[in-house]
Amino acid sequence: MAAAVRVIAAQGPGAPTAAIAKEAGVANGSLFNYFATKAELYNQLYLDLKAEAFRVAMDEMPAEADLRTQTFHLWSRWMNWAASSPEKRKAFAQICVADDISPESRAQAGAAMAPIVALIERVRAGGVLAGQPLPFVFAILESLSGATMDFMIADPEHAQTHCKAGFEALWRAIA
């Protein structure tokens, strides 16, 4: 999986499996002992990266805190995960839009993200996006988070400033 992250980050989701196998130090055919198809590999990587980002974001969530504090906790941990793992962030961004990711994998990841969805729903209940479709809200969130992550990675000296500014923009958009 680490080899797949490195290759996809460098070459995109169109990277040949031979490049992933070479990076992993195994014969190309050996890769298919673990994954029947490239799509199966990509789906597993998608689920693994989603699960990792979710675990990091939700770790030590202050359950008794107000919504703003909880949302900032989620946001800052997610942003810091991406900034500390730029290859994973880049591979994840690319694999999320890959045609190889099945509706089943997307549904499985979505189900695992239910606590985050519930938090966002509570936050947006009184905001300007309250009546908007949830996929639209998450598209805005993804765009804002992607820009924030990219600036944090490109400008590590000011990463926390970018993180806080991104959060303020998010909060004003959804709360």
pLDDT, one tens digit per residue, over 88-107 is: 999 999 999 999 999 999 99
* Domain interval for residue 79: 2-174
Give pLDDT tens digits for 157-174: 999 999 999 999 999 999
- Output the pLDDT for position 126: 86
Assigned token pair, 113 = 């993200």
CA distances from 133 to 39, 86, 130, 139 (A): 29, 30, 8, 10
Number of structural domains in the chain: 1
**Contacting residues for 19 by C-beta, under 8 A, at least 6 apart:** 7, 11
Assign residue 39 the CATH number of its domain.
Answer: 1.10.357.10
